[in-house]
Structure 1
Amino acid sequence: MQVLDSLIDGPLQLSNAREGDELIGMMVRYLRTGAEPSPRTDAQRMALAMARPVLDKSRARIEGGRAGGSANGARTGRDADAEGRERDAIPYAEVVAALNRAAGTAFRDTSKKTRSLIRARWAEGYRLEDFEAVVEEKAAQWSGDAKMRAYLRPETLFSPKFEGYREEARAAAQRPGKGALDAYAEL
């Protein structure tokens, strides 16, 4: 839009409305069909030269959308298979509910800070099971200590230290006898 504004109001003045209409028609035709613009005047040629990078970028996006993905070939969420959407959907509510259940807290899953922390860990490849394991392990470790109980919150648990907490939870799950107790609890 800025390019069009500069063409209309900027230093490059088209001589008449018809010339401007033709130029816009060429741009729209190029975006819709890929038909190469054929400017008649020098002003139209200059205007197209200015607008060409933006038009090419928009054209690539349009083509990518028609093919069911982006211009670089990646599939978009809209057309991706259901499994991919499921895997990539971040379950903020479930993560925060696990924390609230384990710690007896009432954090909201709509908090901007909480969501950004969860999103950052999600981008690192952690999934719901990892969040639940960290929450359960830290709740078991810190619930008995009044000072440490205060740290059972999103800012602490989902911080960049998350990887260390996850490794602690993994090690705790592999301790002798731990698996037997879990199996018994499931009965």
Structure 2
Amino acid sequence: MTPAKSSPRSTLARLRKLASQIAAQRERLNILLFTLDVDLPNEEIARQLQGQLGRLDLAADVATAGPERVRSAIDGKFDDVDVLVVLANSGSEAEDRLMELVQWLLANGRTSLAQNLVFAQWGSSRRQTSPIFDHVVLEDSYVSQIQQSGRRFPWAAASHESWNLADAVLSYAVGLRVE
């Protein structure tokens, strides 16, 4: 899912509007970044996403887990999650492992997480098939893009692809309703 090109200020305004709508629905947004591969920088991605949501004045917690599903379930990582972001390498088997996780979630009573999630692939190659979930490709430089740019304010980098994951999470979360 790649947002249409727009000016940094209009992108920031759209993201702030989404964040405001979410804040009106819930006190805090709980996000789980579940990685399917141990070699991915999930902690760094979680920190960047947490920081971006904070700059948009959205109260959010971004937790990490994976790749061990059972251990994560025992630890309660799947409890009280509003948005599940599944992170995988861009290899050809990533989609199969995603579907294995979805089947496991369904079999273990996590239907809402299994039906609606954001799939983030690490690396520069794009999927050949059309995604059934919201899909974001995170380039190898994702974590360092804002840090290296020296840009301090969110509108200075809001149109940059480093905001694609935050955009996908906000777009997904705005459709959630307080139960």
Same-fold call, TM cutoff 0.5? no
Which structure ranks higher in relative contact order (CA pairs < 8 Å, sequence separation ≥ 6)?
2
Structure ID, larger Rg: 1
Q: Normalised by the shorter chain, which TM-score bucket?
A: under 0.3
